Amino acid sequence: MVVRTSSSPSAPAEAHTQALALLRETSPLTQCITNAVVTNFTANALLALGAAPAMCDIPGEAGMFARIAGGVLVNLGTPTAEQRDAAREAVSAGTPWVLDPVAVGALPVRTALAHEVLDARPAIIRGNASEILALAGAGSGGRGVDTTDAADDALDAARTLAVRTGGTVAVSGETDLIVDATRTARVPGGSALLTKVTGGGCALGAAMAAFAAVAEPFEAATAASAVWAVASERAASGARGPGSFAVAFLDELAAIEPADLRDRVELPR
């Protein structure tokens, strides 16, 4: 049975509203080792949200920076040799980190790296259903960044990964699915226009890294998904297309308040 979390204000689900308040107060330093396509949008999304992004992805610096960062994102979208080494450094720093295994399973270089860094136990893994299935050894990885599966198709795979890493796994879809070893949350809603802006999902992974600096992984992933759902719906309401939507989405990320996240997360009672 699913209940709206706002009906139980002391329940863990309210943790996601507190997480946003805390993120705004502390502006966590969020390191992103991410793909060349989305660095700009990701940094702007983090700034709008209230975090302090730093795209530090050079070997010899990335590990050191990860030790002072509050959260780290490792996104495998365009993994150059230097980024692969930087990722290896960063995931060893002991800071909560998010793995976004873009197109894992479909392409060999990133697939090998994804399995390698998995041993460093990401606090959160974020992907679409095809990527989560592939990372768990249960699918082919779709075609690049597209998914060919629905989020709930990846529920078992997500649970398997969550148990293996001791962390949280977030599956993006029409309804986002967030699981750890024992819990399952769902975040419905959000605008489909997000899929028409490059980096909509990649920046969500970065937001999870920012929230992971101020909350436990399960709450961090849930909070970020809820923010994305609310901000994308508001942005879509006045948008003329994907261009104006992306601009409005950044405006809405900056305007969103903790209270706006109420009623946006479904937890089983």
Residue 188 within binding range of a copy of itself, rule CB under 8 A: no
Quickly count: other Cβ atoms within 10 Å of residue 142's Cβ: 21
Residue 9 within binding range of a copy of itself, rule CB under 8 A: no
Residue 85 within binding range of a copy of itself, rule CB under 8 A: no
Nearer to a copy of itself, 177 or 256 (CB): 256
Nearer to a copy of itself, 159 or 196 (CB): 196
Half-sphere exposure of residue 158: CA atoms within 13 angstroms, side-chain side? 28
Out of 21, 24, 26, 58, the only residue in the binding site for a copy of itself (CB under 8 A) is: 58
User: Considering only residues 13-42, where is the footprint of a copy of itself by CB under 8 A?
Assistant: 29, 35-41
Q: Least separation, in Å, of the C-beta of 74 and a copy of itself? A: 15
Residue 56 within binding range of a copy of itself, rule CB under 8 A: yes
Residue 196 within binding range of a copy of itself, rule CB under 8 A: yes
177-202 in b/e form (b: 16+ CB < 10 A) is: bbbbeeebbbbeebbebbbebbbbbb
Between CA 49 and CA 184, with CA 194 as vertex, the angle to 5 degrees is 75
CB 66 within 8 A of CB 89: yes
Q: Exposed, middle or buried, 54 (CB in 10 Å: 0-12/13-18/19+)?
A: middle
Which residues lie near a copy of itself (CB under 8 A)?
29, 35-41, 43-44, 47-48, 52-58, 60-61, 64-65, 68, 77-82, 103, 106-110, 143-146, 195-199, 239-244, 246-255
